[in-house]
Amino acid sequence: MTTRFDYGDAAPGIYTAMESIDGYLRSSSLERKLLFLVQLRASQINGCAYCLDMHWKDLRAMGETEQRLYSLDAWSESPWYSERERAALAWTEAVTRIADGRAPDEVFKQVRSHFSERELCDLTFAIAGINTWNRLSIAARLVPDATEPVEAAG
């Protein structure tokens, strides 16, 4: 697989805009590990190889277990996730697949019981952000590379 086009060369303002989203999320109310777990799950749903590679590495660098990572696609059937994580993952799936179910009230009630209003706003923004990154990466056919994990790098 080869990259179709390069945002950084042709339209660097796109990366500047997306980095501002990531900058906000770094200082958001969400725990970093939860944020990366949500980003990994959305990337699984969307089939974004570049983001899967990146967020898997990020989570491993933070000490996440292989068991929780390889079970993420079946989180609802696995005992490895907290109730807060389950609520976030359910919301991630609902927002990522928005056309399928319009973010159902029952999923909203579940996530709302585990997240403050600010956290819910940050979580929803994080999901929207990773979905945008996934679409940009898939459209350009970005090839997974030797990037270092975010947490290990700084």
pLDDT at site 154: 45
What is the three-class DSSP state of 154?
coil
Q: Kindly give the residue spans of alpha helices, DSSP state H, lying in the chain.
A: 7-10, 13-26, 32-46, 49-61, 66-70, 83-96, 98-101, 105-112, 117-140, 150-153
Residue 87 included in any domain: yes
Residue 85 included in any domain: yes
CATH number, position 113: 1.20.1290.10
Structure confidence by residue, pLDDT tens digits, 51-62: 999 999 999 999
Structure confidence by residue, pLDDT tens digits, 15-33: 999 999 999 999 999 999 9
Q: What angle do CA 134, 32, 62 make, to 5 degrees?
A: 95
pLDDT at site 27: 96
Residue 45 included in any domain: yes
Residue 110 included in any domain: yes
**Count of structural domains within the chain:** 1
Residue 1 included in any domain: no
* Residue 74 belongs to domain spanning: 32-142
Residue 151 included in any domain: no
